[in-house]
Amino acid sequence: MKMKRWGMLLMLCIVISSAMAAGIALQRSEEPITLPVKHHTFEMDVAFPDVSPTMTIYQVKSVNVSKMDVEAIGKLLGFNGGAGVVNEGVLGMVEGTKALNIYTASGAIWYADTAKLFKSVKKQPNLPPDTGAIEIAETFLSTKGLFPSDAVVSNVVADEQGEINTSTKKVSNVIKTDLQVIFDRKIDNIPVIGPGSKLKVYIGDDGEVIGFYKAWRAIKPYSECTIKTPEEAFEDLKAGKCRFAGPIGFDKAIVKEISLAYYIEAADKEQDFIEPVYVFKGELLFGEDVAEFEALVPAVS
3 state SS for 180-216: EEEEECEECCEEEECCCEEEEEEECHHHCEEEEEEEE
* Stretch (H or E) spanning 254: strand 252-263
Q: Same domain for 113 and 48?
A: no
Pair (149, 121) in one structural domain: yes
Q: What is the pLDDT of residues 249-287, one digit of tens each?
A: 888 899 999 999 999 999 999 999 999 999 999 999 988
Q: Which residue has the higher pLDDT, 23 or 211?
A: 211
| Distance from C-alpha of 99 to C-alpha of 67, rounded to nearest angstrom | 15
Paired with 153 in beta bridges are 183
pTM of the model: 0.82
Of 29-43, 150-164, 184-198, 206-220, the range with the lowest mean pLDDT is: 29-43
- Beta-bridge mates of residue 170: none
State whether 142 and 258 are in the same domain.
no
Question: 120 and 154 share a domain?
Answer: yes
Q: What digits encode the pLDDT tens for the residues 25-82? A: 233 334 444 455 445 689 999 999 999 999 999 999 999 999 999 999 999 999 999 9
Q: Are residues 202 and 135 in the same domain?
A: yes
Q: How far is CA 148 from CA 5, 88, 121, 185, in A?
A: 28, 27, 32, 9
Are 90 and 206 contained in the same domain? yes
| Residue percentage of the chain with pLDDT more than 90 | 73
Beta bridge partners of 242: 33
Q: Do residues 237 and 108 share a domain?
A: no
* 145 and 273 belong to one structural domain: no
Same domain, 276 and 193: no
Last residue of a domain, one of 186, 218, 250: 218
Among 218, 249, 275, the domain-final residue is: 218
Do 15 and 105 share a domain, yes or no?
yes
Task: Residue 230: give the domain boundaries.
Answer: 27-57+222-298
Q: Give the number of domains in the chain.
A: 2
Q: What is the pLDDT of residue 29?
A: 38
HSE-up of residue 217 (Cα within 13 Å, Cβ side): 33
In the predicted structure, residue 226 carries a pLDDT above the cut 80: yes
Q: Do 73 and 178 belong to one domain?
A: yes
Query: Are 263 and 185 contained in the same domain?
Result: no
Domain boundary residue, one of 199, 218, 237: 218
